[in-house]
Amino acid sequence: MLADIQRLSIAGRIQLVEDIWDAIAATPDALPLTEVQCQELDHRLEAMQQNPQEGISWPELKATRPSR
C-alpha cells in the first residue's frame, strides 16, 4: 500500500490526505476530545465571550491569505 501511495504524484498524495481528512471529519464523535482539549476550548470560548471585539472572523482571515 505504501508503495502505491509513493507512486502517486505530489498532487495525488495531497488529494489522498485531503480525502482521508474529510472522511475523519465526517465522523467527529469517533475521536473524542481529551480533557486538555476541552479545557482549551472552554478557555477560548470564555475569552471570546469576554472580548467579542478581539480577533477576526473566519471570512476575514481567509481574505488575508495570499493568493496562489
Q: How do the domains of the chain map onto residue ranges?
A: 2-64
Q: What is the pLDDT of residues 22-51, one digit of tens each?
A: 999 899 888 889 999 999 999 999 999 999
Angle, vertex CA 62, rays to CA 35 and CA 13, nearest 5: 75
* Alpha-carbon span 65 to 68, nearest angstrom: 9
Tally of CA atoms within 13 A in the half-sphere of 37 that contains its CB: 4
Give the pLDDT of residue 57. 85
Q: Confirm whether pTM is higher than 0.75.
A: no
